Structure 1
Amino acid sequence: MNLLQALFFPPEQPGGVSSMIPYLQERFRSSRWEMELFWLPKRIRGKGSDEIVFETFDWTPYGESPVVQKYIQTYRDYLWWTKLRLNKRYDLIHAHHPIAGLAMKKVFPDVPLVQTVHSSYERELILNGKIAENGLEHQFLTKIYRELEYVSDRLMTVSQSFADYMSHYTNDPSRIQIIPNGFDEKRFKPVAHENAVPQLVTVTRLVPAKGLDILFKACAELKKRGHEYVLHIIGDGPFRAELENLAISLGIYNETIFYGYTLHPEEFMPFFDIFVLPSRAEAFGSVFAEAALSCLALVGTDVGGIPEQIEDGVNGLLVKPDDVDALADALEKVITDPAYRYELSRSAWDKAKNLYSLTRIANELKKTYLQLQTDRKG
């Protein structure tokens, strides 16, 4: 079977898709399977000029919004690049971004399309203060889910939580299939180590939706309680300067290290002790699985797909979002009790290895692809 994996961002872009798709090629390498990756280069902007028509709604009433205009132009650019670069036949296309899936169906209308929705662009924009809830942009972006349902042969997402979210915007929620992201176990090598001072780490884009302001305030509370720690921030984004100023104002700048963007954080993640990310929204939260495979203790929020990975008190700790005191209390538990921390990290490692191994997820995808091929022939 000749497969095309259609991404939006290039494979080196941080995020759950890039943690999985490039490594799938090895799992599919055989005489039976051929897999190609495709994405829109960052330099391709403002090239497309196709008229955009959706099958399930009229987008033009939302066109006065700059956010919607940018989305439509990006769709045009993806169409332009696809037509320019792809001229071979595929047996199946698996898209990992709405724009990628919509463009592929326009260019290859007779090829079966599997569409995975990995996250909610509209929720991130709302939480980051870029658009208003129920505004033009929110209405437009949620209508895209129905369009994806219409054009896809199989609509998928990465967690039950996000499937429930999408169900409000689709006609037949029972069609939504759940396959979580998978991770190449060989990339994650837990390392036996002892740190005299507990090392906290987070790996994320620095935007308000990730709740790092809450983390900083919780760390200030830990310092007030007399606990030693170091907080490592891996990632970059528009919120960085504000976070650096917040660390200074809270008196925790000396305990906080900003690394910026790092391509392969899993290479040194095993040397830390505790992974913490108090997100305000997550469709799945791939970085929790990556931290679990690195054998770190997990502390997260009870939102989105995170509680599907973390059972509170069993393989990590969960707190409500935006609760500084609860987050400080959870971190205090794992900072002050190394034995408990180790117990949580081992349980997290066991679960992640069993449920999120790339081999297991690749096998699930193969079943889906072959079933679609069978259905088409039948």
Structure 2
Amino acid sequence: MKLLQALFFPPEQPGGVSSMIPYMQERFNPPHWEMELFSIPRRIRSKGKDPVEFHTFDWTVYEESPIVQKYIQTYRDYLWWTKLRIQKRYDLIHAHHPIAGLAMKQVFPDTPVIQTVHSSYERELLLNGKIEEGGLEHQFLVSIYKELEHRTDRMLTVSRSFLDYMAPYVNRPEDVGIISNGFDERRFKPVSHENEVAQLVTVCRLVPAKGLDILLRACAELKRKGHPYVLHIIGDGPIRPELEAMAQELGIYNETIFYGYTLHPEEFMPFFDIFVLPSRAEAFGSVFAEAALCCLALVGTHVGGIAEQIENGVGGLLVPPEDPQALADALEKVIVDPSYRYALARMGWDKAKSQYSIARSVHELKKLYLQYSS
């Protein structure tokens, strides 16, 4: 079977699906499987000119929004790049971004297209304060789910919680499958180490949706109570200057290290002790599984896919979102008791290896792909 994995971001993009799919490629071995990757380079801008028409709604109702205009132009650019670069036919296309799925089905209407929805662009924009709930942009973006359902041959998502989120926006939520992300455990190996001072780490894009303001307030509370720690923030984004200023105002700048963009954080993540990310929303939260495979104790918020990965008190600790005090209390538990911290980390590692291995994901995908073989 000749497969095409249609990404949006290039495979070298850190984090999420773009960094996961390439590691699956070696599991689809010839002669039975031939798998290739496709994505659009960042330099492609305003190349596409094709008219855009959706089957389930009239997008022009929302076209006065600059965000909608940008989305449509990106769709046109993806179409242009697809037509330019793909000259052969595939037996099956698996798309990992709505724009990729819609474009592939338009260019190759007779080829089965499976669509995995990994996250919610509109929720990210809402939480980051870029759009208003119920506004033009929000209405447009949630309408895309029904268009995907109408045009692609099968829809998947990555967690039960995200399926519940999508359910009001599709006609047949019962037909949407769930295949959680899989991770190559060879990339995430625990390393035996002893840190005299607890090392906290978070890896994410620096945007409001990730709740790093809550993390900094929780760390200020830890310092007030006299608990030594170092907080490592790996990632970059538009609110980095704001977070750095906040760390100074809270008096924890000396305890906080801002790394910026880092290509392979998994290479040194095993040397930390505690992974913490108080996200306001997560469809799955791949970085928690990655941290668990590095044998770090996990502390996260009771939202979305995070709560599916962590059973509170078993594989890690869960706290409500928007609650710095609860987060500080949870962090205190794992900072002051290394034995408890290690026990949590070990349980989280066992679960991640059994439930989020790349072998399991590949097995489930192969079964699905074979249903569409001619």
Q: Is the 1:19–1:183 contact (alpha carbons within 8 Å) kept by the matching residues of 2? A: no
1:269 matched to 2:269: yes
Q: How many Å separate the matches in 2 of 1:14 and 1:171?
A: 34
Q: Is the 1:215–1:278 contact (alpha carbons within 8 Å) kept by the matching residues of 2? A: yes
Q: Is the 1:145–1:166 contact (alpha carbons within 8 Å) kept by the matching residues of 2? A: yes
In the other structure, the counterpart of 1:110 is 110
1:231-246 matched pairs, under 5 angstroms: 231-246=231-246
1:200-279 matched pairs, under 5 angstroms: 200-279=200-279
Q: How many Å separate the matches in 2 of 1:36 and 1:105?
A: 17
Deviation string 1:5-47 (CA, Å, 9 cap, x unpaired) is 0000001112220231011111112210000100010000000
Q: How many Å separate the matches in 2 of 1:30 and 1:288?
A: 32
1:351 matched to 2:351: yes
In the other structure, the counterpart of 1:192 is 192
TM-score normalized with structure 1 length:
0.98
Q: Is the 1:206–1:236 contact (alpha carbons within 8 Å) kept by the matching residues of 2? A: yes
In the other structure, the counterpart of 1:55 is 55
Instruction: Report the residue type matching 1:182 in the other structure.
Output: G
Q: How many Å separate the matches in 1 of 2:51 and 2:60?
A: 11
Q: How many Å separate the matches in 1 of 2:147 and 2:40?
A: 21
Deviation string 1:133-157 (CA, Å, 9 cap, x unpaired) is 1100000000000000011111000
Q: Is the 1:211–1:279 contact (alpha carbons within 8 Å) kept by the matching residues of 2? A: yes
Q: How many Å separate the matches in 1 of 2:372 and 2:212?
A: 42
In the other structure, the counterpart of 2:138 is 138
Partner of 2:183, secondary structure, is coil
Deviation string 1:22-79 (CA, Å, 9 cap, x unpaired) is 1111111221000010001000000000000001110001000000000000000000
Q: How many Å separate the matches in 2 of 1:219 and 1:254?
A: 12
1:161 matched to 2:148: no
Deviation string 1:204-225 (CA, Å, 9 cap, x unpaired) is 0000000000000000000000
**C-alpha RMSD of matched pairs (Å):** 0.6
Instruction: Report the residue type matching 2:99 in the other structure.
Output: I
Structure 2 alignment gaps of length 5 or more? none
Deviation string 1:99-148 (CA, Å, 9 cap, x unpaired) is 00000000000000000000000000000010001100000000000000
Q: How many Å separate the matches in 1 of 2:344 and 2:230?
A: 20
TM-score normalized with structure 2 length:
0.99
In the other structure, the counterpart of 2:342 is 342
Partner of 1:276, secondary structure, is strand
In the other structure, the counterpart of 2:150 is 150
- Cα shift at 1:329: 0.1
Instruction: Report the residue type matching 1:348 in the other structure.
Output: G
In the other structure, the counterpart of 1:64 is 64
1:287-366 matched pairs, under 5 angstroms: 287-366=287-366
In the other structure, the counterpart of 1:281 is 281
Instruction: Report the residue type matching 1:29 in the other structure.
Output: N
